[in-house]
Amino acid sequence: MRLAMGLSYNGQAYEGWQSQLSGKTVQDRLEAALQKFTQTRVQTLCAGRTDSGVHGLMQVVHFDTDLERTDQSWLRGTNRYLPLDIAVQWAREVPREFHCRGSAISRRYAYVLLESAVRPSVEVGRVGWIYRPLDLQAMQQAAQYLMGEHDFTSFRASSCQALTPVKTMTHIAISRKSTSPNTAYWRFEFEASAFLHHMIRNLMGCFVKIGTGDKPPEWMAEVLAARDRDAAAPTFSPDGLYFLGPRYEDHWGLPERTAAYDSLP
């Protein structure tokens, strides 16, 4: 049978998603838990790799197994052997033709940014930080230049292994929640056909430049057209970045969100 799982994790303690020799990745922890639960070696594939320090609210994986268990058994049995900062949110048997990455029609990310004169403490690692006020209208104007199909080379890390830099951005939403006269949480949501390595963090660096008034909104269009990483702002912190997960066609019957979505600041 082929099994799909949705899991959430706090990425602060891990060297990203993908398995490493150090064993300090989310994939390593998940596969170790599955091995203890099933007493067999299990290899997983994921919908989207995340970098060191990046969080996941609905990472989707799949794997093949000869074992038959109920969905609830897979969930509880795997979670028993996972560390407290990783949790399976759901488990479903899926058809053999399902592929967690190949079947996805889009991917979603959110970036949470704290605007405050004082650096974060309780939320350290869970939010990015900016001490200067941001201009919502300017950033929303800049976001419009990114919509649709574009070559996003300017926002691509040199180590990116994607076959093409051309992606289709379908949604960007920017909102601000004020908690005091001088403090606010910003939330940037992105949805696209797929994302390049460091693409969101590089976009965030540009949004902050524009939001603080260092660059005009039109600069985003110039950076995009340049197709040159040197044209963009420095890569922003991974601390406030969350992989919200992929979207699939309805016929797969998989959830679009988990309870972990409500944990964002």
Alpha-carbon distance of 129 to 113, in angstroms, equals: 6
Q: Which residues are known catalytic residues?
A: 51
Q: Tokens at residue 126, please?
A: 């869970």
Q: Tokens at residue 205, please?
A: 């660096």
Which residues have C-beta within 8 Å of that of residue 241, sequence separation ≥ 6? Answer: 50, 51, 53, 54, 55, 109, 110, 111, 128, 200, 201, 204
